[in-house]
Amino acid sequence: MGKATGFMDYQREETNKRDPLTRTNDWREYDTSFSDESLKRQGARCMDCGTPFCQMGEIINGATTGCPIYNLIPEWNDLVYKGRWKEALERLLKTNNFPEFTGRACPAPCEGSCTLGISDPAVTIKSIERTIIDKGFENGWITPRIPKNRTGKNVAIIGSGPAGLASADQLNQVGHHVTVYERQDRAGGLLMYGIPNMKLEKEVVERRIRLLEQEGINFVLNTEAGKDIPFEALNHQYDATILCIGAQKQRDLQMAGRDTEGIHLAMDYLTASTKHLLQGDECIDAKGKDVIVIGGGDTGADCIATALRQECNSVVQFGKHPKPPAARIGSNMWPEFPNVFTVDYAHKEATAKFGEDPRQFCIQTKRFVTGENGSLKEVHTVEMEKTTDENGKATFREIPGTEKFWPAQLVLIAIGFEGPDEQLLQQLGLDTENGNVKATYGNFMTNIDNVFTAGDARRGQSLIVWAINEGREAAHKVDEYLMGSSTLPSYLEESI
Ligand SMILES: Cc1cc2nc3c(=O)[nH]c(=O)nc-3n(C[C@H](O)[C@H](O)[C@H](O)COP(=O)(O)OP(=O)(O)OC[C@H]3O[C@@H](n4cnc5c(N)ncnc54)[C@H](O)[C@@H]3O)c2cc1C
Ligand code: SF4
């Protein structure tokens, strides 16, 4: 343990986030790294508490608690405190294939279950993680690890999001020939065409893809399995296939006026915006418009930040649920993920620009109204009251007399996802469960013998860190299937 009294000597510090107003003038990342000295102090705050709940990775009351890839957090905190960065990097890479993604965009459930968080602000685990990997790249410590021996086995991975990339990385490292098929023009899944540039710069994603290519992984882009190549033909060429196709089928809002021009699904908006930024493709432009984002989650927040950078005239975000409490309540105790009111990067930016938080809570959209020229003019809403019965079942009731009309020329629907696109699943005759590909966690094999699945495609829309977890665990199972046993780590089999 680094400094025995560190948690008493030092306060939690936040990274230098760029000024919320000025950063909306560009698309660069809003967060920056810590200085070495302040990061050492932050590492010293880790108490080496004996039972590191931060790295336990469990679901409690439906929410992620601790780190799902079991990052060895107290170990690297200690090494950072002592300035032993390279060793910290080695420890980090033992459990995490892509810390540059999680260190930037993970919601850090580890910090929610940090033991110090019982009495004080938690250790800044995520920022420490980011700085360790950024230093690794800056100092040239990350170099291609080209496998010395090849097994002669061929694996196809469909989908290049974090689940597909983690599987590919693991399987390539034990010598299998890995080919990743991706329907988009760039690899990365939602890392590339979901999460916006100001949260995760696309060069960071492309740097990792280049590295994986140098290590021997073959990427086939612009190729949709089941459409551009019939799945049967594809699967025939490989000893095993892993479906990492995500869960990108978006939930829509069917109601009066939905067909009006100017109403878009959030992912169409975000994808087009990133493609515009990277290669000048046409985008859905919020410039000069009153924008309404329907959906109170993180995808909605990313839409706000994007609309601000496109110079929208105003932006409002509707959420169905009440405003969360300022501090934990009795039913949400440590070490669970704290369900408390937070101000995301996008909300800070909107407040800086327009003087108030863009969020409206307990709002139900009723209809979209067009003007005389047929274009979108207004969104009509009503306020809701949420009640929860003794069994925890929630009911929403409209409050009479609370109807409101909001001016809008652009509406973005961000109300969640329903699972993977059905076309490929139907073509394959795959069993599904709640709309997702059916396979048990820990086994990952579908109802087709050599076809496995991992990530959002199996568990539904989730987090990068869970996609990495599933990608790693599925790779272990596939290796075992191909070779009879596996040297790849599996937390489930306690072989880390
Ligand atoms: C807007 C948005 C913001 C998010 N922000 C965060 C965040 O800040 N932090 C966080 O932890 N999580 C975030 N998430 C969730 C996170 O991005 C996902 O949980 C994660 O990317 C899932 O990884 P995956 O590999 O399972 O699937 P995906 O990343 O969805 O990748 C699936 C890939 O498969 C490809 N594909 C699908 N079908 C085929 C086919 N038939 N042939 C070839 N390719 C195919 C798709 O094009 C896609 O590239 C966000 C999600 C969204 C939508
Ligand atoms: S991956 Fe996420 S949960 Fe795990 S240590 Fe990093 S920030 Fe925390």
Are residues 272 and 384 located together in one domain of the fold?
yes
- Per the model's pLDDT, the better-predicted residue between 137 and 374 turns out to be 137
200 plus 66 within the same structural domain: no
pLDDT tens, position by position, 92-124? 999 999 999 999 999 999 999 999 999 999 999
Q: 465 CB less than 6 Å from ligand 2? A: yes
pLDDT of amino acid 162: 98
The answer, yes or no, to whether any atom of ligand 2 lies below 6 A from the CB of 73, is yes
Quick one: 172 and 243 in the same domain?
Answer: yes
User: Which one of 157, 245, 418, 424 would you pick to mutate in the ligand 1 pocket, going by the greatest count of ligand atoms within 8 A of its CB?
Assistant: 245
Q: Which residues of 324-363 are buried (b: 16+ CB within 10 A; e: fewer)?
A: eeeeeeeebebbbbbeeeeebbbbbbbbebeeeebbbbbb
Q: Which domain holds residue 10?
A: 6-138
Q: Is the CB of 125 under 6 A from ligand 2?
A: yes
Is there a contact between 193 and 276 (Cβ–Cβ < 8 Å)? no
Q: What does each C-alpha distance from 92 to 122, 162, 462 come to in angstroms?
A: 19, 17, 22
pLDDT, position 496: 40
- Which ligand 2 atom lies nearest to the CA of residue 463? 2
What's the pLDDT band for 15 if we cut at 50, 70, 90?
Answer: confident
Cβ 151 vs Cβ 482: under 8 Å: yes
User: Is residue 1 in a domain?
Assistant: no
Determine whether the shortest distance from the Cβ of 129 to ligand 1 is under 6 A. Answer: no
Q: Are 259 and 405 members of one domain?
A: yes
Residue 290 in contact with ligand 2 by CB distance below 6 A: no
Q: Are residues 120 and 109 in the same domain?
A: yes
Question: Are 376 and 475 members of one domain?
Answer: no
Question: Nearest-5° angle of CA 483, CA 486, CA 490?
Answer: 145
Instruction: Report d(CA 71, CA 93) in Å as an integer.
Output: 9
Q: What angle do CA 279, 104, 418 make, to 5 degrees?
A: 75
Cα–Cα distance, 216 to 483 (Å, whole number): 20
Q: Output DSSP code: residue 162.
A: H
pLDDT at 411 over 70: yes
Do residues 128 and 195 share a domain?
A: no
Q: Is the pLDDT of residue 323 over 50?
A: yes
Residue 495 lies in a domain: no
Instruction: Give the confidence band of 495 by pLDDT, cuts at 50, 70, 90.
Output: very low
* Per-residue pLDDT band at 24 (split at 50, 70, 90): very high
pLDDT of residue 78: 95
Determine, yes or no, domain membership for 146.
no
DSSP string, 33-94: PPPHHHHHHHHHT----SS-GGG--EEETTEEES-TT---HHHHHHHHHTT-HHHHHHHHHH
Confidence band (pLDDT; 50, 70, 90) for 306?
A: very high
Clarify whether residues 319 and 198 are in a common domain: no
Look at residue 33 and tell me whether its pLDDT is greater than 90.
Answer: no
For residues 187-194, average pLDDT: 98
Q: How far apart are CA 137 and CA 15, in angstroms?
A: 19
Give the type of residue at 29: E
The CATH code of the domain that includes 324 is 3.50.50.60
Q: In this structure, is residue 466 part of a structural domain?
A: yes
Give dist(CA 194, CA 201) in Å, integer.
Answer: 12
Give the helix ranges, DSSP H, for 323-463: 345-354, 422-428, 456-459
- Number of domains into which the chain is organized: 3
Name the phi and psi angles at 158, rounded to 5.
-100, 115
Structure confidence at residue 89 (pLDDT): 98
Closest C-alpha to ligand 1, atom 10? 463
Instruction: Name which residue leads in pLDDT, 478 or 393.
Output: 478
pLDDT in tens, 394-404: 899 999 999 99
Q: Identify the pLDDT of residue 372.
A: 86
Same domain? 357 vs 433:
no
Residue 494, pLDDT score? 55
Q: Quick one: which of 212, 216, 160 has its CA closest to 191?
A: 160
E-strand spans in 204-360? 218-220, 240-243, 249-250, 263-265, 290-294, 314-318, 359-360
The whole-number pLDDT of residue 2 equals: 64
Tell me how long the chain is: 496
Ligand 2, atom 2: closest residue by C-alpha: 108
The structure tokens 């009879």 sit at 484
Domain match, 173 and 285 both: no
- Same domain for 228 and 205, yes or no, is yes
Q: For the chain, how long is the longest CA-to-CA vector? A: 72
Q: Are 390 and 363 in contact (CB under 8 A)?
A: no
Decide if 236 is inside a domain.
Answer: yes
Name the domain boundary from 74, 106, 138.
138
Q: How far apart are CA 46 and CA 77, in angstroms?
A: 7
> Of 107, 138, 169, which residue sits at a domain end?
138
Residue 332 beta carbon below 6 angstroms from any ligand 2 atom: no
Q: What is the mean pLDDT of the chain?
A: 95
Give the closest residue (by CA) to ligand 2 atom 1. Answer: 102
**316 three-class SS:** strand
- Residue 63's beta-bridge partner residues? 60
Answer with the one of 415, 441, 468 that is the final residue of a domain: 415
From start to end of 216-339, where are the E strands? 218-220, 240-243, 249-250, 263-265, 290-294, 314-318
pLDDT tens string 151-179: 999 999 999 999 999 999 999 999 999 99
Residues 6+ apart with CB under 8 A from 372: none
- Residue carrying the six token digits 């665990």: 473
**Strand 436-437 relative to strand 432-433, pairing:** antiparallel
Ligand nearest to the CA of 91: 2
User: Which tokens go with 493?
Assistant: 């089999």
Q: Is 269 in the same domain as 411?
A: yes
Q: Is residue 489 part of a domain?
A: no
Cβ burial, residue 267 (10 Å; 0-12/13-18/19+): buried
